[in-house]
Structure 1
Amino acid sequence: MVARLILQSLAWLAFMGVLLFGAAGTLAWPAAWWYLLELAVLSLWIGLWLARHDPALLAERLAPFVQAQQSRWDRLFMVAIGTAWCGWLILMGFDAMRFRWSAPLPAWLMALGALCVFLCIFMCRFVFRANSYAAPVVKIQASRGHQVADTGPYAYVRHPMYAAALVFFVGTPLLLGSWWGLVAPPVMAYGMGWRAVREERLLAGQLDGYTAYMARVRYRFVPYIW
């Protein structure tokens, strides 16, 4: 399992590097190297933690993003978000390095971006500790005895991993030095909100106790906001 984690992480990081540096037209982009290094270290950290504490969840996290058990709408969503992600990385490479459409970001904002990336992964650890069924795809994991998660961050919001992703979506363009990259987070937030509503419909209809959980925890992403 650990070998698979390392291989998949390296392959994904290499693919991201090709998109970023290919769009930038140069390897002399320190922010992108730092971004990939930070992701590599954090991914290995949380992956090794999962391998020790919840290998079944790690197996789910390493599974393909498109699966037969998914609803058709979620398969389409994953394809769309994957395509948008690739386009986003290319846009930021064009903006920050090749064409330099944006004015340079101050160092403190780029440091804030690095902090946001770290906070996202750090928050995800609390999510994984509270919810052993936090798969990347929307499905009922009946073979694993799927139950409602209502402790930890789930006691405050119904989708804490999506909340963590919002932090990541803001941090990435800040760290990479791309003002244009900041146009994507609102769109991605809307997409995740769309998915969250449909995910809740599926869980309310198929997972015992989820409707009662929704009544107890009112907010989806951010307490007192939505």
Structure 2
Amino acid sequence: MNVKAIGQGVGYGLIAAVVYGLLLFWPAGTFDYWQAWVFLAVYGVISIACCIYWGLTNPAVLQRRLRGGPKAETRFTQKLASTALIAAFGSVFLISALDHRFGWSAPPTAVSLLGQVVVVLGLCLGILAVVQNGYAAANITVEAEQPVISTGMYGLVRHPMYFSLLVTMVGLALALGSYWGLAGALISVPILVVRILDEEHLLVQELGGYREYTQQIRYRLVPYLW
């Protein structure tokens, strides 16, 4: 058990929740935004539960997940892609909150509830990807004796973490009651393509067996599409 890592992870999760709250309630101009409150509750519970679970069962995984963001990347392309992804993710909050304020679109409650379910699904898919591959770090890196994982979700697409992020972003816009927020998810697609192509260039060079894996698993991000 790594109490320090758990505390750090929970702290990061709480800080993220506060930032998300600012990105939602400030542009929305009101706290009367039940979709935002539900999302923050869902995110907070899942985030804290994961930190505690990994801290108790596999602290190394938690440490890898805590090392993220543009500064943690060693490749210039990845620094740019990571920064752009953060901006795209944040745009979903901002656009959805402005949509709530000005009523650009008005999805029914059922769509928002479905979106909350999709958010949970996306987050859980990301957790499952980490469970199946404990070396899945938040930044692009290859560790000594790191194996190539080709089973489970990695037997469907090469980058299930990015797939889960895309699912989460689509669900997030709907969960926050906005169709316009889907623009943020759309913007993230070319960014993910750039990040994946650069990441695979590194993995083919530095991770033994990855070239053979790319020949075995055809799809990178979305099954049957790309």
CA distance in 2, matches of 1:93, 1:68: 30
Confirm or deny: 8 A CA contact 2:81 2:194 kept in the other structure: no
The equivalent residue for 2:19 is 15
Confirm or deny: 8 A CA contact 1:46 1:121 kept in the other structure: no
Confirm or deny: 8 A CA contact 2:92 2:172 kept in the other structure: no
Match runs of 1:76-155 below 5 Å: 76-96=80-100, 98-102=101-105, 104-142=106-144, 145-155=145-155
Question: How far apart are 1:58 and its partner, in Å?
Answer: 0.7
RMSD over equivalenced CA pairs, Å: 1.5
CA distance in 1, matches of 2:24, 2:137: 27
Confirm or deny: 8 A CA contact 2:88 2:187 kept in the other structure: no
Question: How far apart are 1:211 and its partner, in Å?
Answer: 0.3
What does the per-residue CA deviation read over 1:6-61, in whole Å, with 9 as the maximum and x for residues that have no partner? 11100111011011101101111111011101100111222222223321111111
Number of residues paired by the alignment?
222
CA distance in 1, matches of 2:61, 2:24: 30
CA distance in 1, matches of 2:40, 2:32: 14
Structure 1 residues 89 and 196: CA distance shift in structure 2, 3 A: same
What does the per-residue CA deviation read over 1:120-177, in whole Å, with 9 as the maximum and x for residues that have no partner? 12112221121111111112223xx322122221112101111111211110010101
Confirm or deny: 8 A CA contact 1:92 1:180 kept in the other structure: yes
User: TM (normalized to structure 2)?
Assistant: 0.92
Letter in 1 for 2:196: A
Gaps of 5+ in 2: none
Letter in 2 for 1:159: H
Question: How far apart are 1:63 and its partner, in Å?
Answer: 1.8
SS at match of 1:138: coil
User: TM (normalized to structure 1)?
Assistant: 0.92
SS at match of 1:222: coil
Structure 1 runs of 4+ with >4 Å offset: none
CA distance in 1, matches of 2:48, 2:72: 28
Letter in 2 for 1:53: T
Question: How far apart are 1:217 and its partner, in Å?
Answer: 0.8
CA distance in 2, matches of 1:20, 1:136: 25
Structure 1 residues 123 and 77: CA distance shift in structure 2, 3 A: same
Q: Percent identity between the aligned chains? A: 33
Gaps of 5+ in 1: none
From 25, 28, 31, give the equivalent of 1:24.
Answer: 28
Confirm or deny: 8 A CA contact 2:67 2:139 kept in the other structure: no
Confirm or deny: 8 A CA contact 2:84 2:191 kept in the other structure: no
